[in-house]
């Protein structure tokens, strides 16, 4: 069913009262902007003349930034190195009002940095500086202890897994078990390699490539989509799965209900970086504000549509979400239909 303007107002007015723990891989995103007018004489590659640069929070830190933009309180859990990148990250987080109190420094690891070189609005290359080995036992225990120190005063948990080593099997199982025991809502932005470890979560938000890879069936047709969505829902024993499908929108699978399809809200796609962060953050924030799973998916779809129109990791405010949702009501884009009927 479509969302009414009154229901949108009710949900967005309530956003901003939740406390959300974000556990995952914390990163620093570096952007170098420039132009290309020649090819290098040393190799057949473009020479980018850098004209400006920008630093942004990435990974789990970007999820926390999205939660903060929705006026909820983020509690960011993870690790960084004891290096210059960690100092820069700390400054960026403080600018956004995000505490570094629960981040564990680990001198044996580098802070993950993703450097993207952009020329004429096109990404030319990305360079990653990172350590991807699993956490050492001492760091894992410190992160777990910090999670346990806040678990009784949070409304939801988001697991932001970029496969950089923070989300270990033992840490994941312990966190999910504690949340299930306390009936705390758990949202997961997954990594394919850990997919079947995210059991009994409230929502998992893979894109269609990740979902198909995990299930072992490429999603090409509507029949494929239904088989993958319903199969993963059963195997994960999850409350819901939200499969993001790019230009085809999103499809929500829930226990005991027909699948629901939500058409895309994107206006023009410039950069999909961080879209998954916004999807899981806006879904969880809306749910904490009283939206049901389908309504939360519609809000998440709107958030993603806004973000892909921006360059680099970005956030969307509650006011922007509300405006975008109202615009889509006027355009007749908020109707959710059974996936089996989607064209």
Q: How far apart are CA 164 and CA 168, in angstroms?
A: 10
Q: Are 242 and 283 in contact (CB under 8 A)?
A: yes
Q: Which DSSP helix (H) or strand (E) runs through 6? A: helix 5-14
Q: Which DSSP helix (H) or strand (E) runs through 240? A: strand 240-244
Residue 277 annotated to the active site: yes
> For residue 226, which of 208, 239, 247 has the smallest C-alpha distance?
208
Q: How far apart are CA 153 and CA 294, in angstroms?
A: 26
> For residue 271, which of 38, 54, 42 has the smallest C-alpha distance?
54
Q: Are 72 and 80 in contact (CB under 8 A)?
A: no
Catalytic residue among 25, 29, 271, 277: 277
Q: How far apart are CA 169 and CA 172, in angstroms?
A: 5
Q: Are 11 and 286 in contact (CB under 8 A)?
A: yes
Q: Are 144 and 174 in contact (CB under 8 A)?
A: yes
Q: Are 70 and 281 in contact (CB under 8 A)?
A: yes
Contacts 24+ apart (CB under 8 A), 248-257: 248/208, 248/342, 249/301, 250/279, 250/297, 250/300, 250/301, 250/304, 251/225, 251/339, 251/342, 252/293, 252/294, 252/297, 252/336, 253/229, 253/339, 254/293, 254/294
CB atoms within 10 A of CB 181: 9
Q: Are 168 and 135 in contact (CB under 8 A)?
A: yes
Q: Are 228 and 268 in contact (CB under 8 A)?
A: no
Q: What residues are labeled active site?
A: 277
């Amino acid at each position: 069913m479509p969302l009414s303007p009154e229901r949108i107002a009710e949900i967005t007015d309530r956003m901003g009262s939740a406390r959300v723990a974000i556990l995952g891989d914390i990163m620093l995103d570096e952007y170098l902007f420039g132009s290309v007018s020649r090819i290098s004489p040393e190799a057949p590659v473009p020479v980018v003349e850098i004209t400006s640069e920008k630093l942004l929070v990435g990974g789990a830190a970007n999820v926390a930034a999205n939660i903060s933009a929705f006026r909820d309180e983020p509690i960011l859990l993870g690790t960084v190195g004891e290096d210059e990148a960690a100092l820069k990250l700390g400054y960026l987080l403080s600018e956004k009002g995000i505490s570094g109190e629960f981040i564990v420094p680990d001198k044996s690891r580098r802070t993950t940095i993703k450097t993207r070189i952009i020329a004429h609005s096109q990404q030319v290359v990305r360079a990653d500086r990172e350590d991807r080995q699993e956490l050492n036992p001492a760091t894992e225990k410190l992160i777990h202890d910090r999670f346990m120190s806040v678990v009784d005063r949070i409304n939801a948990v988001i697991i932001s897994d970029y496969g950089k080593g923070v989300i270990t099997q033992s840490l994941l199982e312990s966190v999910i078990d504690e949340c299930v025991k306390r009936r705390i809502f758990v949202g997961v932005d997954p990594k394919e390699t850990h997919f079947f470890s995210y059991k009994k979560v409230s929502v998992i938000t893979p894109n269609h490539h990740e979902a198909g890879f995990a299930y072992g069936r490429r999603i090409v047709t509507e029949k494929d989509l239904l088989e993958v969505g319903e199969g993963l829902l059963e195997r994960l024993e999850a409350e819901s799965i939200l499969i993001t499908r790019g230009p085809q929108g999103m499809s929500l699978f829930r226990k005991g209900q027909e699948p629901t399809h939500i058409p895309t809200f994107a206006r023009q796609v410039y950069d999909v970086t961080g879209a998954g962060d916004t999807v899981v953050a806006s879904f969880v924030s809306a749910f904490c504000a009283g939206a049901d799973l389908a309504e939360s998916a519609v809000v998440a779809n709107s958030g993603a549509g806004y973000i892909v129109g921006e360059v680099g990791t970005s956030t969307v405010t509650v006011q922007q979400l509300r405006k975008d949702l109202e615009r889509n009501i006027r355009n007749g884009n908020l109707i959710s239909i059974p996936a089996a009927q989607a064209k």
